[in-house]
Amino acid sequence: MEPLNLRAREVPAVLAVVRLGTVTLEDAALARSVAECHERWGMWGFSVLEVPDGDYAALARLRPIVATRRRLLVASGPALVAAGFPLLPTLEHPHWTVVLSEPSPGQFARVRALFDGPIDNPAWTRPT
């Protein structure tokens, strides 16, 4: 297990799921993600990226993988926290971890319901 270092940050208004594109929040993908997080830090969670000031182009500059995703799943940081899913500012900005109480289909369904989309990615760059 690795030590968990947190940045001092306010909960972001907009978060995007990028890792596996629009399938990231399916049960099987979430189960893998939260298991990897648990192995790494001892908590059940999955990665999201802050969309700085709602600017997807800014996020794509910080994390170029964002521009390769045609569609995204997005959520409100405050809505996740209000629903009982803590957000931890992990790794380097703009990375966050959404924390779940357990890796169960019920928890997956609850957190998935808080994400909108898939939406068209304003920062998507058509492959050449």
| Distance from C-alpha of 124 to C-alpha of 76, rounded to nearest angstrom | 20
- What residues contact 113, with CB distance under 8 A and at least 6 apart? none
Extract the tokens encoding 41. Answer: 């830090």
Q: Enter the pTM of the model.
A: 0.92
Question: Tens of pLDDT along 80-94?
Answer: 999 999 999 999 999
Extract the tokens encoding 95. Answer: 């990375």
Question: Tens of pLDDT along 30-50?
Answer: 999 999 999 999 999 999 999
- What residues contact 20, with CB distance under 8 A and at least 6 apart? 29
